[in-house]
Amino acid sequence: MSNPTPYDFFDMKSLLSEEERQVQQLVRRWVDEKVQPVIADAFDEHRFPSEMIPEMAEMGLLGCNLEGYGCAGLNNVTYGLICQELERGDSGLRSFVSVQGSLCMFPIHTWGSEEQKQKYLPGMADGSIIGCFGLTEPDGGSDPGTMKTHAKRDGDDWILNGAKMWITNGGIADVAIVWAQTEDGVRGFLVDKGMEGFTTRDTLKKYSLRASITSELFFDHVRVPESNRLPEANGLKSPLTCLTQARFGITWGAIGAAIGSMEEALGFAKERILFGRPLTHTQTIQRRFADMTRRITTAQLLSLQLGRLKDKGEMHPTQVSLAKWNNVRMGLDIARDARDILGAGGISVEYSPIRHMLNLESVITYEGTETIHELSVGRQICDGVNAF
Ligand code: TGC
Ligand code: FAD
């Protein structure tokens, strides 16, 4: 019997395959060597470190759980572990990978024509084509069914009008997956950068996800060929299905942010001498680290079982909702507590918890707010009654 360790208290490692462990180690090492030394400055400078895209692509992280077209074909648990390690670095990197893989490559892979798959997927896997996903609009992201962006058929083309807001990667994207209302319901369109009438504007002065690009997208009579419509995407269910993929990764990513925060605070508390003894020798500090360990461990086991269900094709969207709600709340609470344990130093970007905490303020809002996930779970257990 081995001693439980802080960040793997229930020996989750033993539940992973050799391949899952190896990929996790690879990404962890890369984050420690390449991301940790520079990410605080990138956050401070409000800069997405796009120079890291080729390296992430080289490691096979983009669209890693998809098959073919240059994708790595890894299982979903491995995808989750990748998200965890990236977000231990910064939510901005995990966001980039979530959007590229789960929100952009996934719909092309699932509902695209063969021509679209050949045109976009290999380039998206090797990082030469960047995608963004436009669902949210200024009038209320929680209720995308009321979207105003619309596309009208005009011969062999569609005419797209409207606007999207809060779009990750928008300003650097080569292609935007845009969800629009049509006479036949919601449909998905591949809007290429440079199409006439399509413009973007970056959202500046954010206090969260500063190492990530967030933008508005504007469509003013953009002529989109029918060949750029996702032929098999049909109704609001399609974008919501993409969200389920990305939310799954977020449940793991939040664990990474929590671990990153706790590592920093625990290292500090062991060294900080107050009242003649290290902080870790006091009862309340031990209780706080014990509580962090309890919550991280619970989240790890939740996400692992979710991943095993997903790999068997048995994962239900409301299970993802419960895990996103639980794990992001856990990550945010731990980041805040770790920030406090660091004392005044904790407000400096020199330490990671405040960065994780600020980032998680976005993560708890995007991909469905905490309330939306609570109501999704509530609806599931209360006979499907919709209380939204
Ligand atoms: P509702 O009637 O519930 O559903 C319509 C149809 O969709 C199906 N469905 C889902 N399918 C797959 N996954 C899910 N999560 C699904 N949720 C619903 C549902 O079964 C139904 O199918 P059918 O066959 O009966 O037509 O729709 P509703 O209008 O009542 O809305 C439900 C609600 C509130 C849960 C949904 O609108 C919602 O999830 N709202 C939150 C929106 C959201 O999360 N937006 C995120 C935008 S993208 C983003 O934030 C990216 S951040 C990326 C980053 O940087 O990492
Ligand atoms: P609203 O929907 O206006 O919600 C406001 C408040 O009302 C929230 O607290 C909410 O929980 C609450 N609320 C809503 N409905 C109810 C109800 N029925 N009962 C009680 N309370 C309710 N979107 C994309 O499409 N693509 C992206 O790439 C993307 N990236 C993002 C990146 C960042 C950094 C951020 C912050 C957001 C991003 N989003 C993206 C948008 C995100 O998905 C939305 O912000 C989110 O869905 C919430 O929508 P909203 O901001 O309009 O809030």
From 77, 96, 125, the end of a domain falls on: 125
Residue 387 lies in a domain: no
Mean pLDDT of the chain: 98
Closest to 100 (Cα-Cα) out of 68, 77, 71: 71
Closest to 92 (Cα-Cα) out of 194, 214, 215: 214
pLDDT tops 90 at residue 2: no
User: In the prediction, which pLDDT does 146 show?
Assistant: 96
User: How much distance in Å is there from the Cα of 86 to the middle of ligand 1?
Assistant: 25
Residue 4 lies in a domain: no
Q: Can you read off the two tokens belonging to residue 275?
A: 């009242």
Q: Which of 237, 250, 320, 324 to mutate to test the pocket of ligand 1 (most atoms within 8 A of CB)?
A: 237
Distances (CA, A) of 108 to 132, 166, 177: 12, 21, 9
CA distance 346 to 26: 29
Neighbours of 141 (CB within 10 A): 19
> Both 280 and 366 in a single domain?
yes
Per-residue model confidence as pLDDT tens digits over 93-118: 999 999 999 999 999 999 999 999 99
Residue 363 lies in a domain: yes
CA distance 262 to 6: 9
> Both 281 and 319 in a single domain?
yes
Closest-lying ligand 2 atom to the alpha carbon of residue 203: 34
pLDDT tops 90 at residue 1: no
Neighbours of 122 (CB within 10 A): 16
Residue 246 lies in a domain: yes
> Both 66 and 135 in a single domain?
no
User: In the prediction, which pLDDT does 276 show?
Assistant: 98
User: In the prediction, which pLDDT does 119 show?
Assistant: 98
User: How much distance in Å is there from the Cα of 368 to the middle of ligand 1?
Assistant: 8
Tally of structural domains, the chain: 3
Distances (CA, A) of 157 to 6, 164, 197, 206, 225: 57, 21, 14, 37, 4
> Both 222 and 281 in a single domain?
no
> Both 290 and 211 in a single domain?
no
User: In the prediction, which pLDDT does 346 show?
Assistant: 98
From 177, 196, 228, the end of a domain falls on: 228
> Both 65 and 17 in a single domain?
yes
Per-residue model confidence as pLDDT tens digits over 306-338: 999 999 999 999 999 999 999 999 999 999 999
> Both 198 and 109 in a single domain?
no
What is the mean pLDDT of the segment spanning 249-277?
Answer: 98
Q: Is 214 near ligand 1, meaning CB less than 6 Å away?
A: no
Helix, strand, coil shares, percent, the chain, to 5: 55, 15, 30
Decide if 367 is catalytic: yes
Residue 116 lies in a domain: yes
Confidence of residue 292 (pLDDT cuts 50, 70, 90): very high
Residue 5 lies in a domain: no
Confidence of residue 140 (pLDDT cuts 50, 70, 90): confident
Residue 386 lies in a domain: no
The residue whose CA is least distant from atom 19 of ligand 1 is 237
Q: Which of 202, 365, 376 to mutate to test the pocket of ligand 2 (most atoms within 8 A of CB)?
A: 365
Per-residue model confidence as pLDDT tens digits over 48-79: 999 999 999 999 999 999 999 999 999 999 99
From 75, 99, 125, the end of a domain falls on: 125
What domain range includes position 301? Answer: 237-381
User: In the prediction, which pLDDT does 103 show?
Assistant: 98
What is the mean pLDDT of the segment spanning 25-33?
Answer: 98
For position 329, which CATH number holds? 1.20.140.10
Active-site entry in 20, 137, 216, 367: 367
For position 142, which CATH number holds? 2.40.110.10
Residue pair 164/137 in contact (Cβ under 8 Å)? The answer is yes
Residue 27 lies in a domain: yes
Q: What is the dihedral of CA 291, 296, 302, 305, to 10 degrees?
A: -130
Distances (CA, A) of 101 to 23, 37, 129, 181: 17, 26, 12, 24
User: How much distance in Å is there from the Cα of 29 to the middle of ligand 1?
Assistant: 35
> Both 243 and 288 in a single domain?
yes
The DSSP output letter for 197 is T
For position 120, which CATH number holds? 1.10.540.10
Q: Which of 166, 189, 240, 388 to mutate to test the pocket of ligand 2 (most atoms within 8 A of CB)?
A: 166
> Both 193 and 268 in a single domain?
no
Spell out where 204-304 has E strands: 214-225, 273-274, 277-278
Torsional sign, CA 29, 30, 34, 38: negative
Confidence of residue 372 (pLDDT cuts 50, 70, 90): very high
Q: Can you tell me whether residue 304 is helix, strand or coil? A: helix
> Both 220 and 245 in a single domain?
no
The residue whose CA is least distant from atom 9 of ligand 1 is 237
> Both 118 and 65 in a single domain?
yes
Closest-lying ligand 2 atom to the alpha carbon of residue 368: 47
> Both 194 and 265 in a single domain?
no
